[in-house]
Structure 1
């Protein structure tokens, strides 16, 4: 049965509240990570599609998809339909897989307008490979998994492997599998007989899927083609990371830097956990460390743990999860790391580099290192930034709330919400943003109307939509609940991260009673904080107060500046700064003036005006959305 990407409201005629309407997981329609990446790099990506620029390659052919993100390595693969990621597979063979689904390489459905459309979707095609010098048997091996953390392919949503036969210019089916529920990765070994051994051999994977959404997921891992192999050649002389940690903090993946500084020790987790896998038939000794590097990985190293050599013996064909201490001093002292206090910074980004060495040495070291980033921006978050499925609550008037413990007095400026685009046009749908200080009893402290989308179908926004509060809300430190009340009957399809689990922090109310989310995962909603201008107590008479207007906001091509203080004729240094504190554009001029942002990626930025004479800075937030 063809799946509809957007699940319509199920209307149940009932009078009794005993039949409570519930929360549910929803299918995705697009891949916002791919869309955002493509929109920011479309010229370079389209240039990569010029296949003839690359020469014929030779054996061995090996790709475990650990070194690329979003698209396959174009030195090995002809096309870029598959989505290279580390979040959709369940317990992979190595870190990173290639996912085949119902979306094209821009992250959009092949046929968005027809929910029942079905057919051949993605291709993952090798470049031409020279097999004319082969002197022994050649085998292609790979691992595959249906569904994983994503959407289950139905029986007819199959996957297929084909070889290209030069003699009759045809693609020959060599293997296939019908759709099924999630299962462990399975290995496939296929011999390449002499009829395919020429100077332009190719192989490809392709899948059949519903073409109107991000569904029917297949994951491919560890593709290996070489000679001197046989059917019994099942071992890979390799140890690989298969997971990464999401944060060095307890529960949270991010919070504002000034909020972290209120409790630099209490917010740190006791340990981080990563998992690596021994894919060999013999035991390996693995020595794992992590390193923390300041300034987004370009600054000094501030932590290396453990410093003394120690290793873990990992059995053949097995996974090993090794906790490494972060801040753990009791009952036995292990480590006491916390991010160093920097009261002059507004935001901070740290790179966490995880790596290991093995004895004896493995043959493929690309998957022996994985990096993550600890971001202290303007928001609180539990999620890792990637939605594997959607989440929604049934019923007109239903409410959804995400619980956060706010660490210091601050002003709530906006909500960031990861809404999944859907096939139904809900641009006219509305809801009410809400903040509660308590759910039992229910105490609402803020409410304002909000619209779901504008230009829904092919919006070029990033993953999270930003909803500014009409009136910034000052909150004292404590526990609050951020969310909304639905006005319409339709689901609000919000991102649900299955790689982190904070469902006890997600609450919904569809029949007058607050309940906890029914599924493991994390709601992708983030409250955004930032200091507002304090009341002006006194101003020196000789001081000229400048107030800049930045427009349009959001902007797509050009940002204009206007100084509303008509008496000011000062020269200003103007910088466009991203959320990581990096200066993207800088220039100097007298206002009014403008800067071109047509080449800048979508996102939230700060425009920083610095008076050349007084060095007095002023900040304005701007959203770039194309």
Structure 2
């Protein structure tokens, strides 16, 4: 049957992680190489609301879980830790295959369960220690099969054994240029050894020399000799009157800059090279499984009559005295498995974790926190589309309202207020485009189930604006919700409404991949112009598969409308291949030699397959344009059976000059501290690297908006901002870069 030939699969890589790595000033630090970690004090809590791709490095020791708000369905808080089969670089694990394998880990720092240091209190079983968390299988991702389970383990440092590490893998692109090649006999220089070294023998004073593990290198003699150590003065690490004792940890050391002689193989730009690094000692941990959940579909999971919730809460008492020590750890990990079909081998088996909390003085009913938060990503204000060309926008495409979900994680009702306001490219609030508020009772999240879970408000779009002429435009929409009894308890989300030269239903983020398993299959998307225009090309986001098994020839087609479904094939551009232009970017296939005039009305754009292999087009699960997706495998046109948006965009307007158009990138990160300021009279604003050059400071303006969108402060940028006069509540800190017309935004909480 035709329905069986339409498929959703996962991604072979995570484009958000890829983009994040490319923007990092320093390469990834593999904390799993560190010899020992300083133990944290109770309480331990993380709700993953700081969406920064990787887990908080102050709480977790690995980078394998993906922090996001796109994959979960109605979580307790905005943001979760997603476990899948992609590593910390966003690639499929090297050992991934059709048989179950251990994939992601989410491992806590060591935690002091022996005592409450600040109170000089020794922890016992009578202190009622509980670890709790929420979890959900699949979400908007892939269904984990029954044996692709989620596991929780408790652990502590091994009492006897250290393991020895010599190497980690390094991209050749960090060493050579894109067009260069390393041949046998070449020498490269690498200084990436910056891991702490655990002193495990002898005592050292200021004048001593310490044998510091460094690069394993080959010295070029008549015969190659192998060097692992060299001698370094202890004065590099400690003061004149200090002493390093057995068991001490010395600071990070990055003096390993010896040449490394390439003695086998030939490497090109995209290869990985085994680069010798610090020989270090890693403290092993002993682990015990304490909980697990079998894989399941979200539909089955939420239908269980014992729960009927989107996320289940787990409460685990810690009653074994063996865990009441100063190096207690816990970790989650998941099992994954890939399809046997080559073109389907991509990211699978999604699990989502939220609200991890460990503390004493808890009970099995201790499931509440005084917290008001948004739940889902906010919506576009444009009716039917996520983004459209500014010259095609009319009042008819203004939504009547947007749906806003929020959670109250307390045990009692709270009166809450929701507001939004809109700003232009310069950060000025647009007069009339402010929703002054909706107030109502927000019931506890714990009292709601899958049958009565409702949005907090359907907020009206109170007014829109006129966009004139060809060109891009942006409107920033700030959404705020807060507890009326305590306005410091609440949440803020900022949405960037973009107007570009394309029609798009998707939000630019692919959670899945879409494809047909039929030679000659056609997959198309319906669009509608409100004004006459010219079709200039098509943007498509393709997701890679293992070994590029979706690199197959296809044709691009444009169809007329035939009573609400594709009609006559109007234009065909043949012999194309999937292009993977870059992270978070579509590829634009330009209609160079043909001008396709579009009258007002409906038209269709899509592709025609030439093989049975899935082409794996990006599929967005956070927007839903299912009724605009059509496919035909020989039995006539059908609407897709999957809710979501196929990531094909129609490019219109003036002729295209550039070969491709970047359509999405991660926002630059602006940081402020301390936040909240507490007793501090000022906060420090730390700029992202893209605008931190001092010579560009003259182009920067810092602005502060209150919870209603009112501008309360504007001045030339200064890294210190006086906040003594600010009342309790949420504020938006906005740094505007006039040189590049960019905004860097974060939120400030004042709680005196």
Counterpart for residue 530 of structure 1: 653
**Shift in alpha-carbon separation, 1:283–1:509, aligned structure 2, 3 A:** same
Deviation of residue 435 (structure 1)?
0.8
Equivalence for 1:223: 356
| Matching residue of 2:384 | 251
Question: Which of these residues, 568, 585, 588, is aligned with residue 443 of structure 1?
Answer: 568
The structural deviation recorded for 1:42 is: 5.1
After TM superposition, list the pairs within 5 Å mapping 1:113-132 onto structure 2.
115-132=97-114
Tell me what 2:236 maps to.
none
Whole-Å separation in 1 of the counterparts to 2:503 and 2:438: 36
Whether the aligned pair in 2 keeps the contact of 1:39 and 1:460 (CA below 8 Å) is no
Q: Where does the alignment leave 5 or more consecutive residues of structure 2 unmatched?
A: 122-126, 160-284, 302-309, 339-344, 669-688, 691-752
Q: Counterparts of 1:233-312 in structure 2 under 5 Å?
A: 233-260=366-393, 263=394, 265-295=395-425, 298-300=427-429, 302=431, 305-307=434-436, 310-312=439-441
Change (3 A) 1:390 1:200: same
- In the TM superposition, residue 222 of structure 1 has moved relative to its aligned partner by 0.8
Q: Is the 8 A contact 1:412 1:530 kept in 2?
A: yes
Checking the alignment, whether the CA contact within 8 Å between 1:32 and 1:107 is kept in structure 2 is yes
Contact 2:419 2:438 survives alignment (8 Å): no
**Contact 1:400-1:484 within 8 A present in 2 as well:** yes
Deviations 1:488-517 (A, max 9, x none): 222222122222221111111221522221
Deviation (angstroms), 1:46: 0.5
- Matching residue of 2:545: 422
In the aligned structure 2, how far is the partner of 1:362 from the partner of 1:227?
Answer: 28
Q: Which residue of 2 aligns with 1:466?
A: 588
Partners of 1:292 and 1:353 within 8 A in 2: yes
Q: Is the CA contact (8 Å cut-off) linking 1:244 and 1:273 kept in structure 2? A: no
| TM-score, normalised with respect to structure 1 | 0.74
TM-score, reference length from structure 2: 0.62
Distance 1:80 1:73 in 2: 9
Alpha-carbon distance in structure 2 between the residues aligned to 1:218 and 1:274: 24
1:343: which partner in 2? 468
3-state SS, counterpart of residue 627 of structure 2: helix
Counterparts in 2 of 1:271 and 1:48: CA distance versus 1, 3 Å = farther
* Rounded Cα–Cα distance in structure 2 between residues aligned with 1:292 and 1:223: 34
Name which of 76, 83, 90 aligns with 1:93.
76
From the superposition, tell whether residues 92 and 377 of structure 1 become closer, same or farther in structure 2 (CA, over 3 Å): same
Q: CA 1:431–1:188 in structure 2 vs 1: closer, same or farther (change >3 Å)? A: same
Alignment match, 2:43: 60
1:407–1:477 CA contact under 8 A, matched in 2? yes
Which of the numbers 282, 290, 303 marks the counterpart of 1:174?
290
Classify the secondary structure of the residue corresponding to 1:180.
coil
Query: For 1:485, which of 588, 608, 626 is the aligned residue?
Result: 608
- Quick one: structure 1 residues 362 and 201, their matched pair in 2 at CA, closer, same or farther if it must change by over 3 Å? farther
What's the counterpart of residue 520 of structure 2?
A: 397
1:94 Cα deviation (Å)?
1.1
State how far apart, in whole Å, the 2-side matches of 1:520 and 1:581 are.
Answer: 25
Q: After TM superposition, list the pairs within 5 Å mapping 1:312-327 onto structure 2.
A: 312-315=441-444, 317=446, 318=448, 319-327=453-461
Query: What CA distance in whole angstroms lies between the structure 2 residues aligned with 1:580 and 1:85?
Result: 16
What secondary structure sits across from 1:258 in the alignment?
helix
State the distance in 1 between where 2:487 and 2:43 align: 16
C-alpha displacement at 1:294, in angstroms? 2.1
Is the 1:381–1:525 contact (alpha carbons within 8 Å) kept by the matching residues of 2?
yes
Provide the C-alpha distance between the structure 1 equivalents of 2:72 and 2:297, rounded to a whole number of angstroms.
13
Whole-angstrom distance in 2 between the partners of 1:527 and 1:500:
17
Structure 2 CA distance for aligned equivalents of residues 581 and 104 of structure 1: 21
Contact 1:433 1:449 in 2 (8 A): yes
Return the alpha-carbon distance in structure 1 between the equivalents of residues 599 and 315 of structure 2.
61
Deviation at 1:383, TM superposition (A): 1.4
Matching residue of 1:144: 135
Structure with bigger gyration radius:
2
Once the two structures are TM-superposed, the CA of residue 390 in structure 1 deviates from its matched residue by 2.2
Higher relative contact order (CA 8 A, sep 6+): 2
Structure 1: distance between partners of 2:591 and 2:572: 9
Identify the residue that residue 206 of structure 2 maps to in structure 1.
none
Instruction: Kindly state the Cα deviation for residue 207 of structure 1 after the two structures are TM-superposed.
Output: 0.9
Instruction: Give the distance between the partners of 1:96 and 1:520, measured in 2 at CA.
Output: 22
Q: Secondary structure at the match of 2:605?
A: strand
Distance in 2 between the 1:41 and 1:52 partners? 28
